[in-house]
Amino acid sequence: MRNIRRIAVILVVVGLIATAFSTAAQGGGEGLTIGFSQIGSESAWRTSFTDAVKAEAEARGINLLFSDAQQEQENQIAAINAWIAQGDVDAIILAPVVTSGWDVVLQEAKDAGIPVVIVDRNVDADPSLYVTRVSSDFVHEGRLAAAWLVQATSGNCNIVELYGTVGSAAAEDRATGFREVIALFPGMQIIRSETGNFVRTEGKQVMESFLSAEDPANICAVFAHNDDMAIGAIEAIKEAGLVPAQDILIVSVDAIPDIFDSLDAGETNATVELSPFMGAPAFDAVVATLAGEELPKWIPVAGSLYTSRAAYDADHQ
Nearest Cα residue to 94 out of 114, 30, 241, 27: 114
Out of 60, 121, 133, 143, point to the residue binding ligand GYE (CB under 6 A).
121
Footprint of ligand GYE on residues 261-300 (CB under 6 A)?
A: 274
As a whole number of angstroms, the distance between CA 219 and CA 97 comes to 31
Footprint of ligand GYE on residues 124-143 (CB under 6 A)?
A: none
Does residue 226 belong to the site contacting ligand GYE (CB under 6 A)?
yes
Does residue 254 belong to the site contacting ligand GYE (CB under 6 A)?
yes
Please say which residue, 34 or 119, places its beta carbon nearer to ligand GYE: 119
As a whole number of angstroms, the distance between CA 201 and CA 294 comes to 43
Nearest Cα residue to 301 out of 316, 286, 317, 279: 279
Does residue 161 belong to the site contacting ligand GYE (CB under 6 A)?
no
Does residue 43 belong to the site contacting ligand GYE (CB under 6 A)?
yes
Q: How far is the CB of 120 from ligand GYE (least distance, A)?
A: 5
Contact 69, 12 (CB under 8 A): no
Does residue 46 belong to the site contacting ligand GYE (CB under 6 A)?
yes
Q: How far is the CB of 295 from ligand GYE (least distance, A)?
A: 21
β partners of residue 67: 37
Q: Report which DSSP code applies to 248.
A: B
Which distant-in-sequence residues (6+ apart) come within 8 Å of 280 by Cβ?
Answer: 26, 56
Phi, psi of 248 (to 5 degrees): -130, 120
> Which range in 3-11, 30-38, 42-50, 143-151 contacts ligand GYE by CB under 6 A?
42-50
Q: How far is the CB of 35 from ligand GYE (least distance, A)?
A: 19
Please say which residue, 114 or 198, places its beta carbon nearer to ligand GYE: 198
What is the bridge-based pairing of β-strands 270-273 and 305-306?
Answer: antiparallel
Q: How far is the CB of 136 from ligand GYE (least distance, A)?
A: 7
Q: How far is the CB of 226 from ligand GYE (least distance, A)?
A: 4
Please say which residue, 253 or 280, places its beta carbon nearer to ligand GYE: 253
Which distant-in-sequence residues (6+ apart) come within 8 Å of 125 by Cβ?
Answer: 102, 103, 106
Please say which residue, 121 or 204, places its beta carbon nearer to ligand GYE: 121
β partners of residue 37: 67, 94
Q: How far is the CB of 270 from ligand GYE (least distance, A)?
A: 15
Please say which residue, 29 or 40, places its beta carbon nearer to ligand GYE: 40
Footprint of ligand GYE on residues 197-216 (CB under 6 A)?
A: 198
As a whole number of angstroms, the distance between CA 158 and CA 176 comes to 17
Q: How far is the CB of 260 from ligand GYE (least distance, A)?
A: 15
CA atoms within 13 A on the CB side of 116: 29
As a whole number of angstroms, the distance between CA 282 and CA 278 comes to 6
Residues in the chain: 317
Q: Site residues (CB under 6 A) for ligand GYE?
A: 42-43, 45-46, 120-121, 170, 198, 226, 228, 253-254, 274
